[in-house]
């Protein structure tokens, strides 16, 4: 018995050393931003992983290097089937997230399949998928089309009683909570950063949020990812005919245009090549129209959520210390302000 305990302790020490050397920089940045709770979570990861290996009969391998808001490890279960172990970083109380509920509601349609979860350890065991769509060698338009297919697959599945119950969809955080959070976050962080842009940009975002409130139809709300970008869409493992699946959802019940609007802030290289603000605005307008055509949703709500998310994300990036990336996105928000749609 003593030798088994010694071997376990030795394994933990080795894991802690290797783990400390491989933590992604973006994870360190978020831990620093979220404070002592996140730091304690990070320190306890090796022990938690060892406990989950025993509880779930899995063997945990390497830590993936592209995490930012969680830590994801390769793993194998007892039947040697490949999977991944995701350890969620604690969020602040004001940040809405119901990831487990979202994955349950989707049941593997459009989203990664949930195998098991441990609420106490904030751990999820998931099917293993492939590389992000950003690395698939596809044009931006092809990526948008594939993402829209994944979204539509999940919307159809969660409206089908044979796949997902109405109860599971209604267990998700309502979009009103996310809208309230954005309406508070944007002016708060703008002031905290000593007002890095004009007040007009903030006022426009708040007006767009209020405009969407007036147009909401909660009965038509769908499963919403809540943080959609080209690195949260992975190639499917090939067990079904789904080409790409979504991962890392916040898990909202919201209007479809919210997720689609997020696609406006992505693929920054397309905006970077524009010669001036007018060029950036033109790229944004063409993208909005393409997203609308690919999804069947109206342009105006896509544009307005796109503007809100572009501004809020730019401020958040600056807040986290990614100044160059944040200010580049802020320039996009300034360009989008010029367009009336």
pLDDT digits (tens, 9 = 90+) for 321-338: 999 999 999 999 999 999
pLDDT at 32: 85
- pLDDT tier for residue 9 given thresholds of 50, 70 and 90: very low
Supply the angle between the helices 199-215 and 299-320 in degrees, to the nearest 10: 140
148 has pLDDT over 50: yes
Strand, coil or helix: what is 187?
helix
Q: Give the per-residue pLDDT at 20.
A: 60
Structure tokens that stand for 266 in this block: 């992505």
CA angle 296-300-305, nearest 5°? Answer: 100
* pLDDT at residue 213 is higher than 90: yes
At 4 the pLDDT is 40
Any idea where the domains of the chain sit in the sequence? Answer: 2-90, 138-336
CATH code, residues 138-336: 3.90.1200
pLDDT at residue 341 greater than cutoff 80: yes
pLDDT digits (tens, 9 = 90+) for 248-280: 999 999 999 999 999 999 999 999 999 899 999
pTM: 0.85
Using a pLDDT cut of 90, give the percent of the chain over it.
68
Mean of per-residue pLDDT scores for the chain:
88
pLDDT at 241 over 90: no
pLDDT per position as a tens digit, 30-48? 888 888 888 989 889 999 9
Q: Which of 13-22, 208-217, 302-311 has the lowest mean pLDDT?
A: 13-22
Model confidence pLDDT, tens digit, residues 40-80 = 898 899 999 999 999 999 999 988 877 778 899 999 987 76
pLDDT (0 to 100) of residue 93? 52
Distance CA 98, CA 228 (A): 15
Question: The tokens 């004001």 sit on which residue?
Answer: 94
Q: What is the pLDDT of residue 5?
A: 46
Residue 146 is predicted with a pLDDT of 96
SS3 177: helix
Model pLDDT for residues 95-143, shown as the tens digit of each residue: 545 899 999 999 999 999 999 999 889 899 999 999 999 999 999 999 9
* Angle formed at CA 247 by CA 97 and CA 286, multiple of 5 degrees: 100
Dump the DSSP string for 17-80: HHHHHH--HHHHHHHHHH-HHHHHHHHHHHHHHHHHHHHHTEEEEEEPS--SSEEEEEEEETT-
State mean pLDDT over 149-166: 81
- Summarize the confidence of residues 222-244 as an average pLDDT: 86
The Cα–Cα gap between 148 and 72 comes to: 25
């Amino acid at each position: 018995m003593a030798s088994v305990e010694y071997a376990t302790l030795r394994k933990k020490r080795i894991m802690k050393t290797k783990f400390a050397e491989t933590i992604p920089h973006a994870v360190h940045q978020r831990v620093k931003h979220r404070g002592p709770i996140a730091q304690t979570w990070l320190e306890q990861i090796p022990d938690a992983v060892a406990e989950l290996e025993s509880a779930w009969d899995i063997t945990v391998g390497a830590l993936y290097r592209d995490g930012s808001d969680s830590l994801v490890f390769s793993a194998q279960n007892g039947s040697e089937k490949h999977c991944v172990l995701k350890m969620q970083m604690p969020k602040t109380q004001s940040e809405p997230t119901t990831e487990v509920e979202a994955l349950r509601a989707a049941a593997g349609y459009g989203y990664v399949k949930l195998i098991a979860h441990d609420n106490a350890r904030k751990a999820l065991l998931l099917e293993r998928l492939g590389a992000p769509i950003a690395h698939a060698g596809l044009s931006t338009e092809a990526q948008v089309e594939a993402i829209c297919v994944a979204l539509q697959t999940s919307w159809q599945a969660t409206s089908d009683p044979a796949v997902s119950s109405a109860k599971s969809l209604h267990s998700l955080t309502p979009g009103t909570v996310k809208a309230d959070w954005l309406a508070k976050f944007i002016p708060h962080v703008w002031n905290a950063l000593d007002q890095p842009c004009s007040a007009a940009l903030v006022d426009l975002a708040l007006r767009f949020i209020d405009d969407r409130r007036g147009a909401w139809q909660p009965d038509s709300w769908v499963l919403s990812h809540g943080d959609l970008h080209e690195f949260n869409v992975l190639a499917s493992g090939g067990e079904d005919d789904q080409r790409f699946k979504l991962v890392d959802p916040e898990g909202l019940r919201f209007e479809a245009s919210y997720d689609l609007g997020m696609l406006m802030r992505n693929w920054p290289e397309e905006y970077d090549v524009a010669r001036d603000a007018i060029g950036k605005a033109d790229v944004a307008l063409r993208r909005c129209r393409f997203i609308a055509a690919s999804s069947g949703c109206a342009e105006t709500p896509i544009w307005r959520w796109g503007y809100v998310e572009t501004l809020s994300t730019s401020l958040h990036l600056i807040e986290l210390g990614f100044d160059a990336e944040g200010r580049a996105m802020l320039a996009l928000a300034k360009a989008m302000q010029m367009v009336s749609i």
